[in-house]
């Protein structure tokens, strides 16, 4: 399923064989200490169980390498929240600043609406200004700052909560 292209990448459905590169990109984000509170990337089975099956994308460079990825997780197991999901977007360090994150997030929004999701949310570490700007460019709004939401390496961290409501689903 090809969904969009830019000059440097092709966005398509993420397949299990992409996971080794997806994991490597995720580990690069973990190493920054500003992308996630996680300290270790899961193996495929754990990752596969965490993310929704319907909304998993990769940005493939011309040489076939994964330049970035995006996916959604459910925010709750309760049926009344089945249309609410949290987004995750990561770009390989070598491909940052090329618009790949925005391309992935816009395609993820489209895929989420096709899957019946009416609200996307993002928890972004307070120091991750680039991710906040990216989300705002894609129609998210800051709902508020969640103080001391979780710890990373023994330090309390604050996160911005952002959300985007669909103008197609749930209206």
Q: Per-residue pLDDT for the chain (171 aa), expressed as one digit of tens each?
A: 444 545 689 999 999 999 999 999 999 999 999 999 999 999 999 999 999 998 999 999 999 999 999 999 999 888 888 899 999 999 999 999 999 999 999 999 999 999 999 999 999 999 999 999 999 999 999 999 999 999 999 999 999 999 999 999 877
pLDDT at 2: 44
Distance, in Å, from the CA atom of 18 to the CA atom of 66, rounded to the nearest integer, reads 7
Domains along the sequence of the chain with CATH: 2-118 (3.40.630.30)
Given this model, what pLDDT does residue 79 score?
82
In this prediction the pTM is: 0.92
Report pLDDT digits (tens) over 5-19.
Answer: 456 899 999 999 999
> What pLDDT is recorded for position 19?
98
pLDDT value, residue 171: 74
pLDDT of residue 6: 55
- In this prediction, residue 89 carries a pLDDT of 97
Structure tokens at 110: 């489209």
């Amino acid at each position: 399923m090809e969904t969009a292209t830019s000059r440097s990448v092709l966005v398509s459905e993420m397949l299990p064989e992409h996971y080794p590169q997806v994991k490597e990109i995720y580990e690069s984000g973990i190493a920054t200490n500003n992308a996630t509170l996680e300290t270790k990337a899961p193996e495929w089975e754990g990752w596969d169980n965490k993310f929704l099956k319907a909304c998993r994308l990769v940005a493939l460079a011309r040489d076939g390498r994964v330049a970035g990825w995006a996916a959604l997780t459910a925010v709750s197991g309760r049926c009344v929240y089945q249309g609410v999901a949290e987004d995750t977007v990561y770009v390989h360090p070598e491909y940052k600043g090329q618009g790949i994150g925005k391309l992935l997030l816009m395609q993820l929004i489209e895929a989420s609406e096709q899957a019946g999701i009416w609200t996307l949310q993002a928890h972004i570490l307070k120091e991750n200004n680039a991710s906040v700007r990216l989300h705002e460019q894609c129609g998210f709004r800051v709902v508020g700052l969640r103080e001391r939401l979780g710890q990373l390496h023994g330090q309390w961290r604050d996160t911005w909560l952002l959300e985007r409501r669909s103008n197609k689903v749930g209206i």
